Structure 1
Amino acid sequence: MRYTLLMHYPEATEEQIGAEVIEEAQRAFASYAATLQSAGALVGAEVLQPSASSTTLRLADGELQVQDGPFADTKEQLGGTIVLDVPDLDAAIDWARQAPPLQWGAIEIRPGSVYTVDGVWTPNT
């Protein structure tokens, strides 16, 4: 079953965080990703650029609106995703519990469906 870990945490500049803390976080995340990979659970992972670099599309009265920057007005932003292929939700929770970003914010676990090249959505069952 596929699950996506959505990592939410407060955004801060490199100056606010500090180079040493960033380096330690990068080492922790690399170790975590290697552990997921060696367990055969990792499908893919992405660290997202800061939310200020995002573009949000909406339809309002049938008209396309393009908004720069984050859509949600929250202190925590989506910072990255990890897609897992694991037996069940309990396994996804166990892996999420080990994710370094949990120290800085929340991790949302969401089941996914797989879209294949033949145009079929396979539900996560």
Structure 2
Amino acid sequence: MKYLALLAYEPTVWDEASEETRQAYHQAHLDFHKAVAERATLLAGEALADVDAATTMRHVDGQVALTDGPFAETVEQIGGFYLVDAPDLDVMTDLCALLPTAYAIEIRPVVTIEGFES
């Protein structure tokens, strides 16, 4: 089953982190990648630009309306994601537990919609 892991964090966490802590964050991602290679399949994963680079699109009165910034105002922001094909949620949660503890990680199963299978 495919799972999307959204990685949320408070923006100040990285800025205020020591070099040692930043190295630990990087190592956690490397450990995650290694474990995924052993237990699942990494389909995609990327870091995202800060929310000040975001553009939100809405449809208002039949017209496209673009605004600068994120969809919602929150303390945390989505800083990246992983898309993983894992045997089950237990494996996915084990894998995500390897990521930096500064993250709030939202794990969602990917839904297959008939006629839109890849």
| Class of the TM-score when normalised by the shorter of the 2 chains | 0.7 to 0.9
Residue in 2 aligned with 1:55? 55
Tell me the CA shift for residue 78 of structure 1.
0.9
Matches of 2:16 and 2:99, distance apart in 1: 22
Tell me the CA shift for residue 4 of structure 1.
0.7
In structure 1, which of residues 99, 112, 115 is the aligned counterpart of residue 110 of structure 2? Answer: 112
Give the aligned length. Answer: 118
Distance 1:49 1:66, change over 3 A: same
Distance 1:2 1:15, change over 3 A: closer
Q: Deviations over 1:19-77 (max 9, x none)?
A: 33223211221222122123343222111111111111111112211111212110011
Distance 1:34 1:46, change over 3 A: same
Tell me the CA shift for residue 79 of structure 1.
1.0
Structure 1 runs not aligned, ≥5 long: none
Root mean square deviation of aligned Cα: 2.5
Matches of 2:35 and 2:44, distance apart in 1: 13
After TM superposition, the score normalised by the length of structure 1 is: 0.78
Matched, 1:95 2:90: no
Matches of 1:67 and 1:19, distance apart in 2: 35
Matched, 1:64 2:59: no
Residue in 2 aligned with 1:28? 28
Percent identical residues: 32
Aligned-partner residue type, residue 71 of structure 1: F
Aligned-partner residue type, residue 19 of structure 1: E
